[in-house]
Structure 1
Amino acid sequence: MLLAGALAGCGVPTGGAPEPIPTSQVPYDLASPSPTVTGAPSASARIDEPRIYLVAEDGALVPRGRSLRSGALSSRLDQLLDDLATGPTTGELTDRLSTALRPETSLSVDELSDGTVTIDLGGDAEAPAGQESRRAVAQIVLTATSLPEVEEVLLTRDGEPVDAPLPSGALTSQPLSAADYEPLLTPTASPPS
């Protein structure tokens, strides 16, 4: 009992109102807001520049800016789609970004009409399945619509419309917009499969 009373007397005082500590007395800049890191700062894309979308470790699609040569829309779009089909750069791989597109995939612009671009999927690669197929389609749609003149994307294979997966898993052969794939811009609950 005597020991308990002695220990209670050595405690932290509990009375009195809290007092603010002057910023000059806070050590190591603890009063400064913590920086938030969302990928490599040097590689992030500006909203006003063409960009491709890659897959982050958490499954979210992230934009990475690309410089394009000036020219007609179809030419700029071809450059952007070639960059997407090529996959992440060495720096982007270092940032642990990947792609859901198969290495043998080719993407070509077939037609441009009133803000809708028709992109033909080529190559011998088998299409990815499940969540990866949704990410692959989202990468194509989000990349193409990063150019302000493109509002929607229609996917074809050998000139025939493709039933493309939406984030929900539902299939559609209708033109796709960036808004259709907004749910894939946030991390998934589980790691990518």
Structure 2
Amino acid sequence: MGFRRAAALPLLLAAVVAGCGVQAEDTAREVDPPNGVSHVWATPTPPDPAPGVGAVPARLYLVRDGELVAVTRHVDAQPGVDELVDAQPGVDELVDALLAGPTDVEQREGLTSALLGNDIVVGVQLSGSRATVELTDALDETGRSDQILAFAQIVCTLAAKPGVTAVSFTRAGQPVGVPRADGSLSELPATAADYASLVVGQ
């Protein structure tokens, strides 16, 4: 009796499958889910980063009440750097971020900039531990009295990059004298120490 029940079981299952309209197949095949069924197993596509937000943290110097304030901004890594663990922003990326001015959040915190726009700097080159900033004539034509803060922002921001110890300024390839915190004018490379008295907390 038990043997007949065991033998009848495969026949019963086959009949059930046939009754459901499911045809048996010799090989497995991929089954597409019906319309309206989400592919919950699919890997979601990561959202695009917000505009102006890079992957590498960097220190930039902005202005509040006539003093320099260090802020952390995420900027793009220099071209060719794939490992973000060791990546550093390039000098061009740092200056571009600085010339873009304070973000909305930074403005709400009372931060401003003495740099008036992205037409001030032609470009930046790094040679060894010295960054050289090529200027346009725009900085001389601003008529503002806070040029010391403008140069201080550039120097302190670039000097905060590991490996950069001094910043030179040129126009048409010729050295340009820039004001230090004490008001003196010098064509020698500037350092962060020249503007330390303007930095909050130093």
TM-score by length of 1: 0.63
1:147 aligns with 2:158: no
Per the TM alignment, residue 153 of structure 1 is displaced from its structure 2 partner at its CA by 0.2
Give the corresponding residue for 1:51: 59
What amino acid maps onto 1:116 in structure 2? R
Alignment deviations for residues 68-100 of structure 1 (CA, whole Å, 9 cap, x no partner):
333369962111100111111111111111111
Per the TM alignment, residue 128 of structure 1 is displaced from its structure 2 partner at its CA by 4.9
Structure 2 segments unaligned to the other structure (5+ residues): 1-56, 80-86
Give the corresponding residue for 1:31: none
Larger Rg: 2
1:162 aligns with 2:173: no
The answer to whether the 8 A contact 1:163-1:173 is kept is: yes
In structure 1, how many angstroms separate the alpha carbons of the residues matched to 2:60 and 2:163? Answer: 15
Alignment deviations for residues 137-169 of structure 1 (CA, whole Å, 9 cap, x no partner):
100000111101211000112222111001111
Per the TM alignment, residue 122 of structure 1 is displaced from its structure 2 partner at its CA by 2.6
The answer to whether the 8 A contact 2:92-2:124 is kept is: no
In structure 2, how many angstroms separate the alpha carbons of the residues matched to 1:113 and 1:80? Answer: 16
What amino acid maps onto 1:139 in structure 2? Q
The answer to whether the 8 A contact 2:169-2:189 is kept is: yes
What amino acid maps onto 1:69 in structure 2? D
In structure 2, how many angstroms separate the alpha carbons of the residues matched to 1:61 and 1:120? Answer: 22
Q: SS at 1:53's partner residue?
A: strand
1:61 aligns with 2:75: no
Structure 1 segments unaligned to the other structure (5+ residues): 1-48, 188-193
Give the corresponding residue for 1:98: 112
Q: 1:172 aligns with which of 144, 166, 186?
A: 186
TM-score by length of 2: 0.61
The answer to whether the 8 A contact 1:85-1:103 is kept is: yes
Per the TM alignment, residue 102 of structure 1 is displaced from its structure 2 partner at its CA by 1.7
The answer to whether the 8 A contact 1:102-1:128 is kept is: no
Q: SS at 1:50's partner residue?
A: strand
What amino acid maps onto 1:55 in structure 2? V
- Per chain length, whose mean CA-contact separation is higher, i.e. which structure has more relative contact order (CA < 8 Å, sep 6+)? 1
The answer to whether the 8 A contact 2:148-2:183 is kept is: yes
What amino acid maps onto 2:121 in structure 1? L
Give the total of aligned pairs: 138
% identity of equivalent residues: 35
In structure 1, how many angstroms separate the alpha carbons of the residues matched to 2:170 and 2:152? Answer: 15
In structure 1, how many angstroms separate the alpha carbons of the residues matched to 2:88 and 2:186? Answer: 24
The answer to whether the 8 A contact 1:100-1:128 is kept is: no
